Amino acid sequence: MSDIRVRIAPSPTGPLHLGTARTALFNFLFARHTGGTFIFRLEDTDQARSTEAYELDIINGLHWLGIRWDEGPGVAGGTEHGTYGPYRQMQRLERYTEAATRLLAEDKAYYCYCTPEELDAERKRQEAAHESPRYSGHCARLTASERVAFEAAGRLPVVRFRIPPNRTIAFDDIIRGHVEIETSALGGDLVIVRSDGTPLYHFTVAVDDAAMAISHVIRGEDHLSNTPKHILLFEALGSAIPQFAHLPLILNADRSKMSKRKSQTAVAAYRAEGFIPEAFVNYLALLGWSTGTEEEVLSSAELIERFELSAVNSSGAVFSRDRLEWLNGQWIRRLSATDLIDRLRPFVQAELDAGRIDWLPADDELRALLPVVQERLPTLAAVGELIGFLFVDNLDPDVAALVPKRWDAATTAAALTAARQTIAEVGRVAWEADEIEPPLRQLVEDRGWKAGDLFMAIRVAVTGRTATPPLFDMMVALGYERTLARLDRAIEKLAAQAGPTP
């Protein structure tokens, strides 16, 4: 067993974000590739915002993606496994208290009695003087009697960790290379424990990473500026400093940071749209990493085999919905018929629940459609858009959509009437796509029409849409009687629109 130990440490303060899923995946791939251990730890100290529902969403989302951990909570609120637990920070509070007590005893931290109002006034002064905000160090050297006086006045202290004023913290990031950050840019001595005794993120993350023997911290680039604080804390705690790998940010197409305000970031929303986990994992892996070849469609096993942390790009990874849909389509095509039907079921059911279809097709009906449907599905949810018209009792096609550009309502009604007759004749003998098409093409030629015009009018009449899988296959799926009935209905509507024939 390698001593590589990595972790994902989400806060259950929101649904699983695709950035968190990508970070989890890269940690998982790295651990599996190197034979290391992957740990899941919940950073749930923000009690006001943490919920069990979010915890469940995060765990379920990662499980859906096939991301499994070797140590950590099983299901939300449930039992955990691993020898470095507990894996929920709220159950580790005495460890933080113990570490804080140690730092205080060694004078690496001190009690600070400044009130929020005083700190606020300090910040405003700094802002007015165009200085960057930092703690002045007011309480850094209090005497025992000054402390007693503050306590007597009822002030509750926070614990601040001493940040050395003039040091350069340097580290070699596996992705970003050599990084140097001046301690003067860190905002002064850092609050590690609030006045109510609860510990803060920078502190808990360092205490836990040390206690859990984390060897590599792989996380988003937004944490890069936090790393010097963590390094100083590791030093102060006498712990080994892990290696760092900061993953590039995920960006919108305009290169702005992808945030939940501007974009769809919840993994569950993609799942609800019918992205399949094989594709989603594949896509996330390519957000910032590539094999260095043209190959894009990779299974989890292939990703594990090929993944190299050092090959992750340092520049931002632009999220492309088109590419995700393309990959999803590729993965949908690879599914067996039975598997695809199983996965489509809930989406077909949703069409029924939403009143967009009138009945549920049988498995055999769906199976018969797969040859033309499977390669056209960008997502599972697109099934309604693609073939929902087959499972409705009545269509009410829009006259404007029925009439091709070069025709008017009367011409279209006449053309559809002729086409109906042709279809009725062939259909009586053989109701097959190959049999329906040639006589219709003959009709087009005899009348000097454009095939596109007639076929579009037929398409809208029988499907209600301007874009569908191959028209004649759809007519066959719809059935002889229903096709004719829909043509009749369209002809009727057109005739009404055209008025009495002169």
* Interface residues toward ligand GLU, by CB under 6 A: 9-11, 43, 205, 219, 223
Say if CB 165 and CB 232 are below 8 A apart: no
260 is annotated as an active-site residue: yes
What is the DSSP-derived secondary structure letter of residue 42? B
What is the DSSP-derived secondary structure letter of residue 156? P
Burial of 402 (C-beta count, 10 Å sphere; 0-12/13-18/19+): buried
Between CA 96 and CA 100 the distance in angstroms is 6
Burial of 482 (C-beta count, 10 Å sphere; 0-12/13-18/19+): middle
Q: Which is nearer to ligand GLU, 10 or 15 (CB)?
A: 10
Which two structure tokens, joined as six digits, stand for 173? 């990031």
Closest CA to 456 of 467, 446, 448: 467
Burial of 368 (C-beta count, 10 Å sphere; 0-12/13-18/19+): middle
Between CA 199 and CA 202 the distance in angstroms is 9
- Other C-beta atoms lying within 10 Å of the C-beta of residue 154: 6
Q: Pick the catalytic residue: 124, 260, 262, 450?
A: 260
Least separation, in Å, of the C-beta of 43 and ligand GLU?
A: 4
Q: Side chain identity at 226, as an amino acid letter?
A: N
Q: Reduced to 3 states, what is the DSSP secondary structure of residue 401?
A: helix
CA distances from 69 to 243, 313, 343, 376 (A): 20, 25, 25, 35
Residue with the CB atom nearest ligand GLU in the bound state:
219
141 Cβ partners below 8 Å, 6+ apart? none
What is the DSSP-derived secondary structure letter of residue 406? T
Please report the beta strands in 397-439, taking only residues with DSSP state E, as ranges in sequence order: none
Q: Which is nearer to ligand GLU, 142 or 236 (CB)?
A: 236
- Other C-beta atoms lying within 10 Å of the C-beta of residue 94: 8
**How is the chain split among helix, strand and coil, in percent rounded to 5?**
50, 10, 35
Element holding 491 (H helix, E strand): helix 480-498
394 Cβ partners below 8 Å, 6+ apart? 489
Between CA 409 and CA 426 the distance in angstroms is 26
Which two structure tokens, joined as six digits, stand for 189? 């001595």
Least separation, in Å, of the C-beta of 393 and ligand GLU?
A: 50
The b/e string for 281-315 (b: 16+ C-beta within 10 A; e otherwise) is: bbbbbbbbbebeeeeeebebeebbebbebeebeee
Active site residues: 260
